[in-house]
A = this chain, B = another copy of it.
Amino acid sequence: VDTTSSDDAPRLSIGEVARLAGVTPRTLRHYHATCLLAEPSRDSSGYRRYGAADLIALVRVVRLRALGMPIPQIVSCIQEGADETSLPMQLRALAEELDHEIVRLTATRDRLRELAATQTLDRPAETLVQALRAHGLLGDHDTLPEAEHPAAALLDALHPQGMPAVLDQAGGLLADPAARSALAPLLQRFQGLTDASPDAVIGSLAGEVAAVLPRPEHASRPVDLAVMPKLLGDRLNAGQLRFMRQLRGLLDPR
């Protein structure tokens, strides 16, 4: 018996399948364009007509997309000849990628909260002042001269993790009275350099400074000592610049 109320090839419009699968018609057309899904047949007016098998294939794709699988990978998953046992492996690989992503985002989130709380992102000079006070190098009511603020900002910018990390690394030096008393006269001698300072004076000062400073070997992104003179050129005299070149040679011998 032939049933006239039921079409022999029951078909849905693009909007109907899309709604059933929980996507937009545009998304479905995109999947056709990328050969993720075969184009279905068309009716007499050029409309796409979908059957139950098309819906099943689409939902499969939609679920893999919701799991974060990129389209090219889905293509390789569903093409015939694809190893059926590889799907669980690919899912596990995606899970591992997410593990790393979650670790990364968690670290970033924690750092965001820390920076919001301490406000150290934007006030290198203030951060430096607090550290100096904590080490008794600056009186509680003393402050850094205005002229030193750009230098503090530059120091902050040159270290990958900024001023707090600089102070962290310098903490040992600052907390050690012996190192502090050794550095103080060296700083004075550096400030006393002039254009006319003899090479011998500069060379021995560089040697003494290099002996006190911690090695930069383990820095993730060591400061490029070659560009330092270019940045500081208008604040240093010729003797001080020669000192920087000497120090660079000693700290980073090629």
Contact = CB atoms under 8 A, between A and B. Distances in A.
Interface of A: 1, 3-12, 16, 19-22, 51-53, 55-56, 58-60, 63-64, 66-68, 84, 87-89, 91-92, 94-95, 98-99, 101-102, 105-106, 108-109, 111-113, 115-117, 119, 121-122, 150, 153-154, 156-158, 160, 162, 195, 221, 223-224, 227, 229-234, 236-238, 241
Given A6-B236, A56-B154, A195-B1, A67 B112 contact: yes
Nearest to A101: B105
Nearest to A21: B157
Contacts of A101: 105
Given A224-B16, A237-B6, A231 B52 contact: yes
Given A7-B234, A52-B231, A195-B3, A113 B87 contact: no
A87 B122 contact: yes
Q: Which of A7, A98, A101, A237 has the most chain B CB within a 10 Å cutoff?
A: A98
A246 B157 CA distance: 73
Contact of A108 (B51, B67, B229): B67
Contacts of A56: 150, 153-154, 156-157
22 contacts: A3-B195, A7-B234, A10-B230, A10-B234, A12-B231, A16-B224, A20-B224, A22-B160, A22-B221, A51-B231, A52-B150, A52-B231, A55-B231, A56-B154, A59-B157, A67-B112, A87-B121, A91-B112, A91-B116, A91-B121, A98-B108, A105-B105
A133 to B, nearest CB: 23
Given A10-B229, A20-B158, A157-B56, A98 B105 contact: yes
A157 to B, nearest CB: 4
Given A56-B154, A121-B87, A105 B102 contact: yes
Contacts of A68: 108, 112
- Name the prevailing secondary structure of the A interface residues: helix
Nearest to A85: B119
A132 B111 CA distance: 51
Given A63-B162, A241-B6, A227 B12 contact: yes
Which of A7, A68, A221, A231 has the most B CB atoms < 10 Å from its CB?
A231
